[in-house]
Structure 1
Amino acid sequence: MEVVLEVMEDVLEVREDVLEMSGDILEVNENDDVLEEYGKDLTSVQNLLKKQQLLETDVLSHKDRIDGIRISAAQFEEQGHFDLENIKAKERQTVDRYESLQAPIVARRSRLQESLRVQQLLRDVDDEEAWIREKEPVAASNNRGRDLIGVQNLIKKHQAILSEIHNHESRIQGVTDEGKAMVDSGHFASEEITRRLGILHDHWNSLKEKAMQRKQDLEDSLQAHQYFVDADEAESWMREKMPAVCATDVGKDEDSAEALLKRHEALMSDLEAFGGTIEGLAAQAKSCRQQEAPLIDVSGKEFVQALYDYSEKSPREVSMRKGDVLTLLNSNNKTQWMGRDNVLISGFPEMQSIGGNRVMNRASQPEDVLLSLVGLVEGGGLVEGGGLVEGG
């Protein structure tokens, strides 16, 4: 009788433990949110898996006691115990209850593993979103360079950004493939996975579009700044010819006059040949996609253009020719400008503002200078045979 009581007490104790474990396993979160019930983020899922492991260990530790109850019940049955029916009923209830824990345990572990998988995916998506946000300001920058060298440096830097984006494509694709595989397998969080992947791809495509647009903008800026450099070189060449064109020396005798005439003819030949360069510049200007590039840089400077030739009258002044471009020093003082070689110029009322320069506006300047040179050469006086004649 004493043995029976001990067995029954053990049965009751095990039964209580099993009921408690059953409650832990079958507990459901009241908000019915599957992602919340199985962990709202990666850390919480990992914590739930640790608890699950402890619960499984606890259930497994009761197996020996369940086996002991089965053996004891079988022995009582062999002995024909008077209370066998009651003993067998308690044994069946306890064993059945214990065995009923196995399926929920397996199901919950599987669910937690799936939750771990989706939370890891969402963490990866967050990481990719952060990477995109980090690169976006650089990829979408409006800085197009202040000069030719500046643009070239920006293009090199942007090429590095484009390489980073290209190399990162495989990472985005990997996250996408993992998410699609989960959706295709009927994952319980398929709706959330699809939503997050859609947002990620929108941001990724936006980054690539902005990067490609900046590539085009920088190429346009390079084209414009290259034109400005070429135009400046052309004007520099023509300025070098200006002293010869404006020279007043007509020769002291026939020999010197003939020498000057030959130089004049050579100069005319040079100017005529240079017309091809000017035509090339005009075509180059028309092909520029960026027509609003600043004359010198994009720092917001304001420019003016001389309306007529001017000869200096004091040390604070400089001579200039019609069409020379100067930079405004003080927006509140429209009579102070910076000329070539950073010389301060004050007090010239006959200037017109040209503001932000257009390529096509700039394109007319080299041609105007060349026409002025040709006009001066054709209208200059030359000495031939000791007499003054009109130059051809």
Structure 2
Amino acid sequence: MLIRLLEVLSGEQLPTKGRMRIHCLENVDKALQFLKEQKVHLENMGSHDIVDGNHRLTLGLIWTIILASRYPNVNIHNFTTSWRDGMAFKRHRAQTQLWVKERMPLATSTDHGKDLPTVQLLIKKNQTLQKEIQGHQPRIDDIHRRGQTQSQVDGERQSVLEERLVELRELWDQLIAETDKRHARLIEANRAQQFYADAAEAEAWMGEQELHMMSEEKAKDEQSALVMVKKHQTLEQALEDYAQTIHQLANSSRLMVTSEHPESERITLRQAQVDKLYAGLKDLAEERRGRLQERLRLTQLKREVDDLEQWIAEREVVAGSHELGQDYEHVTMLRDKFREFARDTSTIGQERVDGVNGLADDLIESGHPENASVAEWKDGLNEAWADLLELIDTRTQMLAASYELHRFHQDAMEVLGRVKEKREGLPSDLGRDLNTVQHLHRQHNTFENDIQALSGQVNQVQDDAARLQKAYAGEKADDINRSEHAVTSAWEALLEAGQARRLLLLDTVEKFRFFNMVRDLMLWMDGVNLQIDAHDSPRDVSSAGLVIANHQDIKSEIETRADSFTACIEMGNSLINNNHYASDEIREKLTQLQEKRDRINKKWQDKMDHLQIVLEVLQFGRDAYVAESWLAGQEPLVRAAELGTNVDEVESLIKRHDAFEKLAAAWEDRFILLEKLTTLEEQEIQRRLEEEERARRPPTPPPAEGVVQSETESHAHDSAARTSLDQTTLNQSVSVNGVHSDNDTSQGSESESVNGPGRDSGLASSRLEQSATLPSRGGAESEPETMEGMLCRKQEMESHSKKAATRSWQNVYCVLRKGSLGFYKDGKSASNGIPYHSEVPISLGEAVCEVAHDYKKRKHVFKLRLGDGKEFLFQAKDEAEMSSWIRSIHSSIPSGPADSPGGPQVLSRAMTMPPISPSSGDTGGVTMRNKDGKEKDREKRFSFFGKKK
């Protein structure tokens, strides 16, 4: 209550009204301080007394306040009774009305100030008045409340009190309204005055800047010009930044004009003045910037000209040097450095001169006030630059001439050193074999290619010497001539040495090639010699034919090598005729080659003669066996004692005997041929005659050593041949065509019947020792062989790219005829002409027959491949049968009209008797069949020896 009373009396409110003790103490202290300021006497009273609730002190303080704040001329002895009587209320109301009337002139005043500070002061006063009004608002409210209370107590004066209250309320509301209106007017006045102040400030700032823009100060050098340009840039930036202020002024004026401010016309005019002044200031700033930039460019050009002229002067010192170097390295260093100097000078200097000329031209074209000075600077600079370039060109030519002379001497020394190095590096070794020599020859080719590279350098030295001798005279010309002569002499010597070694290496290569050819041929002849010696003596006609065919193959191989021998001999003779440095060695190799070749040819011929004799003996044995078999077969017919019991039987026996006589007449010629001597027998007779002749001759002096040796070798060779043939004959005594004899008791009579009584005992004994063969029939070619027998067959291929549908082994009876091969179930089917499964005989045209080396499941298998792609496998019972079939098939394969299919010409004596039909098995034949259908070799031996004892 105390605090509220003081707030009403003072018209102010305490900022903090806390409930805590410290807040209460602070508020009471402020109240007591206010009373002291109002001259209220307080004794022995503190804030803690009031806060602690001392009612006596509190009531006394309130009474003291009432007495101190009473209206004048109103004596209050008792507050309650005086207020109830209306005296205090009236006086309180009258005092309030007086206070309102005193402030009403301030609220209704039309003085809005002439400048911004005045306006702001008036606004503060009006705000103070508004605060006072707000402070008296509680008092007004208290008066109304007490007046209403008083009117309710005192009914007689109720109307008067209410009128006074209404009058007080209206006066109070008018005061508040007037203060609000004045506040609004002062705000508008403040905005206008603020605009005027800002405009004035802007005009003052722009006026200050205008003084800087109109300055005529000129920079004396580039540095000061740069400072002035930067300073002006700062001013321009400030001017650009100040545009925001101008825009704010324009916005403010536009808003006041839009809101129909009382001073709109004056504001618009003032804003136009500010805008005009700002635009003029920007124009001045742009003009000053142009002047400063021109001054800066002029100072920059002056600096560039001065720097470039100083740089040119420094370069002229280097370009004017007369040092040309003491040797090649020195002049090369000087030339390289000066080249770099000239390149840098030309590049950098021309760029700088062009830049300065461009600046000068720009200044002149832009109409700079100092055009005359700029043109003078430009001309002086260009003249100095031209002088520098001329000095550089002169210096470059002098260094080039000195470099060329020193380089010539240096190149001549280097080339001379390389030529001598190549000459010293030329080897003398010729190698020990062809590979080494070829390697050396390739190295020499590389060496010659390398020195061909030196040829260009030598020519360059000669060309340079010829050119420099025209430019120099005296001692320098003599030095040039000496260097050139030394290089030329060394080069010619190197070429001669290289040519001589190249020819020597080529001769050596040819020599070793010849030696290699001789060695290859020697080795080949060694191999042929081994092949000739490797053939075993044949035991039957078919194997003899194969051995002779193989031996013929060796002859073909020898004939094939004839060109190699011819080339080798011609090469050796050519080297000897060309005076080769190794002619003696080459001649010796040729002699050895020819001698060995003659020995091989003679050995082959001797072996061929031997094999023909063996074949003749084996053929005789076979033919004799056939004749013996025929005799054995016909002997029962001749010796039969049956004479017949009736006419028919006798006539039948007569017809059979007539047929036998006709058949015997046909066999008579064959027996006559068997009686002819074989070649072996003739040679043996001739040998015995020669021995007898030598035995009858008187003794002769011994021959020379060489003749004795030759005869000894000849006799040794003949002895070896006879020994081989005798061994063959001894083998034949055991087995003919690989079939052992079964009947030794009948051999004597058969031999006698074959030999006949017309041959002497000596011939018979010769036959018994050596065996003979049947002679050929008039030397004509033999008919193609025919053969038949059981084989196991399997078809592999149906065509070139198609395998056979059935690839199983089958036993078939094979019949070989000229150019065809037929298949039958057995011999009977073959004699009746019934093919196996109606198969047509296959044609052997373009057929190939060989041993099936790639087939490993069965033994003795050979392969027959036809021209249409069909392929068959056949299995024989042994190796001999397989070889016989292969030889017979080869003989039956059609070939040229003059060719003999299957072997050498000597095989024409293989058959001297007519071929035996497969059906005539009772008369014997080349091949026979047993009951099981298996082929059995029936070519039995014919014994030429007596009966064993």
Scaled by the length of structure 1, what TM-score is found?
0.64
Residues 229-254 of structure 1 deviation map (CA, whole Å, 9 limit, x = unaligned) = 1211221122113334555x566968
CA distance in structure 1 between the aligned counterparts of 2:679 and 2:507, rounded to whole angstroms: 61
- Structure 1 residue 359 and structure 2 residue 771: aligned? yes
Q: For 2:432, which of 26, 40, 45 is the aligned residue? A: 40
TM-fit CA distance, 1:272: 8.5
TM-fit CA distance, 1:65: 3.5
CA distance in structure 1 between the aligned counterparts of 2:659 and 2:481, rounded to whole angstroms: 125
For residues 52 and 290 of structure 1, do their structure 2 counterparts lie closer, same or farther at Cα, with a shift above 3 Å needed? same
For residues 243 and 47 of structure 1, do their structure 2 counterparts lie closer, same or farther at Cα, with a shift above 3 Å needed? same
For residues 286 and 278 of structure 1, do their structure 2 counterparts lie closer, same or farther at Cα, with a shift above 3 Å needed? farther
Structure 1 stretch displaced more, 86-95 or 105-114: 86-95
1:211 counterpart SS class? helix
Q: For 2:446, which of 41, 54, 68 is the aligned residue? A: 54
- Structure 1 residue 114 and structure 2 residue 507: aligned? yes
User: Which residue of structure 2 lines up, in the alignment, with residue 17 of structure 1?
Assistant: 418
Residues 225-278 of structure 1 deviation map (CA, whole Å, 9 limit, x = unaligned) = 12111211221122113334555x566968799679969986996898667654
For residues 190 and 253 of structure 1, do their structure 2 counterparts lie closer, same or farther at Cα, with a shift above 3 Å needed? same
Flag the structure with larger Rg.
2
Q: How does 1:57-72 map to 2 (within 5 A)?
A: 57-71=449-463
Structure 1 stretch displaced more, 176-185 or 249-258: 249-258
| Letter of the 1:240 counterpart | G
User: Which residue of structure 2 lines up, in the alignment, with residue 388 of structure 1?
Assistant: none
- Structure 1 residue 131 and structure 2 residue 524: aligned? yes
1:177 counterpart SS class? helix
For residues 79 and 281 of structure 1, do their structure 2 counterparts lie closer, same or farther at Cα, with a shift above 3 Å needed? closer
| Letter of the 2:624 counterpart | A
- Structure 1 residue 215 and structure 2 residue 627: aligned? no
Q: For 1:241, which of 618, 621, 634 is the aligned residue? A: 634
Aligned residues of 2:415 and 2:458 also touching (Cα < 8 A): yes
TM-fit CA distance, 1:56: 1.8
CA distance in structure 2 between the aligned counterparts of 1:319 and 1:91, rounded to whole angstroms: 108
1:62 counterpart SS class? helix
For residues 359 and 290 of structure 1, do their structure 2 counterparts lie closer, same or farther at Cα, with a shift above 3 Å needed? farther
User: Which residue of structure 2 lines up, in the alignment, with residue 34 of structure 1?
Assistant: none
Q: How does 1:267-278 map to 2 (within 5 A)?
A: 277-278=670-671
| Letter of the 1:21 counterpart | K
User: Which residue of structure 2 lines up, in the alignment, with residue 331 of structure 1?
Assistant: none
User: Which residue of structure 1 lines up, in the alignment, with residue 224 of structure 2?
Assistant: none
Aligned residues of 2:613 and 2:680 also touching (Cα < 8 A): no
Aligned residues of 1:70 and 1:91 also touching (Cα < 8 A): yes
TM-fit CA distance, 1:93: 2.2
Q: For 2:590, which of 197, 207, 223 is the aligned residue? A: 197
TM-fit CA distance, 1:108: 1.7
User: Which residue of structure 1 lines up, in the alignment, with residue 745 of structure 2?
Assistant: 321
Residues 137-190 of structure 1 deviation map (CA, whole Å, 9 limit, x = unaligned) = 334455342112222233333333323322331221122112212211212222
CA distance in structure 2 between the aligned counterparts of 1:67 and 1:258, rounded to whole angstroms: 123
Q: For 2:567, which of 160, 170, 174 is the aligned residue? A: 174
CA distance in structure 2 between the aligned counterparts of 1:124 and 1:133, rounded to whole angstroms: 14
User: Which residue of structure 2 lines up, in the alignment, with residue 183 of structure 1?
Assistant: 576
CA distance in structure 1 between the aligned counterparts of 2:629 and 2:726, rounded to whole angstroms: 16
CA distance in structure 1 between the aligned counterparts of 2:458 and 2:636, rounded to whole angstroms: 114
TM-fit CA distance, 1:38: 2.6
Residues 62-92 of structure 1 deviation map (CA, whole Å, 9 limit, x = unaligned) = 3343344445555267523546545543432
User: Which residue of structure 2 lines up, in the alignment, with residue 385 of structure 1?
Assistant: none
Unaligned ranges ≥5, structure 2: 1-325, 328-401, 685-721, 736-741, 750-767, 773-941
Aligned residues of 2:747 and 2:943 also touching (Cα < 8 A): yes
CA distance in structure 2 between the aligned counterparts of 1:94 and 1:86, rounded to whole angstroms: 13
For residues 280 and 295 of structure 1, do their structure 2 counterparts lie closer, same or farther at Cα, with a shift above 3 Å needed? farther
User: Which residue of structure 1 lines up, in the alignment, with residue 297 of structure 2?
Assistant: none
For residues 319 and 212 of structure 1, do their structure 2 counterparts lie closer, same or farther at Cα, with a shift above 3 Å needed? closer
For residues 246 and 55 of structure 1, do their structure 2 counterparts lie closer, same or farther at Cα, with a shift above 3 Å needed? same
CA distance in structure 1 between the aligned counterparts of 2:536 and 2:583, rounded to whole angstroms: 42
Aligned residues of 1:76 and 1:84 also touching (Cα < 8 A): yes
Q: For 1:79, which of 472, 495, 499 is the aligned residue? A: 472
Structure with more contact order per residue of length (Cα contacts < 8 Å, sep ≥ 6): 1
Unaligned ranges ≥5, structure 1: 29-36, 305-317, 326-355, 370-392
CA distance in structure 2 between the aligned counterparts of 1:22 and 1:78, rounded to whole angstroms: 33
User: Which residue of structure 2 lines up, in the alignment, with residue 283 of structure 1?
Assistant: 676
2:500 counterpart SS class? helix
CA distance in structure 2 between the aligned counterparts of 1:140 and 1:319, rounded to whole angstroms: 36
For residues 246 and 321 of structure 1, do their structure 2 counterparts lie closer, same or farther at Cα, with a shift above 3 Å needed? farther
For residues 71 and 222 of structure 1, do their structure 2 counterparts lie closer, same or farther at Cα, with a shift above 3 Å needed? closer
For residues 62 and 157 of structure 1, do their structure 2 counterparts lie closer, same or farther at Cα, with a shift above 3 Å needed? closer
User: Which residue of structure 1 lines up, in the alignment, with residue 556 of structure 2?
Assistant: 163
CA distance in structure 2 between the aligned counterparts of 1:11 and 1:286, rounded to whole angstroms: 88
User: Which residue of structure 1 lines up, in the alignment, with residue 498 of structure 2?
Assistant: 105
1:165 counterpart SS class? helix
Aligned residues of 1:146 and 1:299 also touching (Cα < 8 A): no
1:101 counterpart SS class? helix
Aligned residues of 1:11 and 1:69 also touching (Cα < 8 A): yes
2:580 counterpart SS class? coil
Residues 265-321 of structure 1 deviation map (CA, whole Å, 9 limit, x = unaligned) = 8699689866765444222457645877989977957649xxxxxxxxxxxxx9863
Q: RMSD between aligned alpha carbons?
A: 4.4
Aligned residues of 1:114 and 1:187 also touching (Cα < 8 A): yes
Aligned residues of 2:729 and 2:771 also touching (Cα < 8 A): no
Aligned residues of 1:155 and 1:215 also touching (Cα < 8 A): yes
Aligned residues of 2:437 and 2:509 also touching (Cα < 8 A): yes
Aligned residues of 1:132 and 1:204 also touching (Cα < 8 A): yes
Aligned residues of 1:234 and 1:366 also touching (Cα < 8 A): no
For residues 263 and 285 of structure 1, do their structure 2 counterparts lie closer, same or farther at Cα, with a shift above 3 Å needed? farther
CA distance in structure 2 between the aligned counterparts of 1:15 and 1:224, rounded to whole angstroms: 85
| Letter of the 2:561 counterpart | H
TM-fit CA distance, 1:119: 2.5
For residues 285 and 73 of structure 1, do their structure 2 counterparts lie closer, same or farther at Cα, with a shift above 3 Å needed? closer
| Letter of the 1:59 counterpart | I
CA distance in structure 1 between the aligned counterparts of 2:678 and 2:470, rounded to whole angstroms: 107
CA distance in structure 1 between the aligned counterparts of 2:632 and 2:946, rounded to whole angstroms: 12
Aligned residues of 2:538 and 2:547 also touching (Cα < 8 A): yes
Aligned residues of 1:220 and 1:290 also touching (Cα < 8 A): no
CA distance in structure 1 between the aligned counterparts of 2:477 and 2:495, rounded to whole angstroms: 28
For residues 277 and 78 of structure 1, do their structure 2 counterparts lie closer, same or farther at Cα, with a shift above 3 Å needed? closer
Structure 1 stretch displaced more, 163-172 or 229-238: 163-172
User: Which residue of structure 2 lines up, in the alignment, with residue 206 of structure 1?
Assistant: 599
CA distance in structure 1 between the aligned counterparts of 2:945 and 2:462, rounded to whole angstroms: 109
1:237 counterpart SS class? helix
For residues 302 and 87 of structure 1, do their structure 2 counterparts lie closer, same or farther at Cα, with a shift above 3 Å needed? same
CA distance in structure 2 between the aligned counterparts of 1:88 and 1:295, rounded to whole angstroms: 94
